[in-house]
Amino acid sequence: MNSNQILHKSENFELRRKKRRKSDKVYYEISLPLSNRLINDEAFVEGVRDVVDPLRNRSGRFGIHWKFRVREEAEKMLTALLLRWA
């Protein structure tokens, strides 16, 4: 299996399954693709950050990708994002 597999892709968000290089640990990442037309809209990006990471401790103050250890948690967060920005 590829170490960087796209599980879900929409116009505004991507959910990927990633694997650490030197170990077999798997994590899931929600990201804003650079091809997204709204990536330059600061209000949109801040709104996404407020939903995914209100305390800004997952990806920092200016992050555009967020890591999760559990797939279910990542899928719930992606669902919340898709419902808000569908």
pLDDT digits (tens, 9 = 90+) for 11-68: 899 999 999 888 889 999 999 988 877 888 889 999 999 999 999 888 888 889 999 9
Sheet holding 65-68, edge to edge: 4-9, 14-19, 26-31, 65-68
* Alpha carbons 32 and 85: distance in angstroms, whole number: 12
CB 57 within 8 A of CB 49: no
- 86 has pLDDT over 80: no
Phi first, then psi, for residue 82 (nearest 5°) are -65, -35
* Alpha carbons 39 and 58: distance in angstroms, whole number: 19
- 1 has pLDDT over 60: no
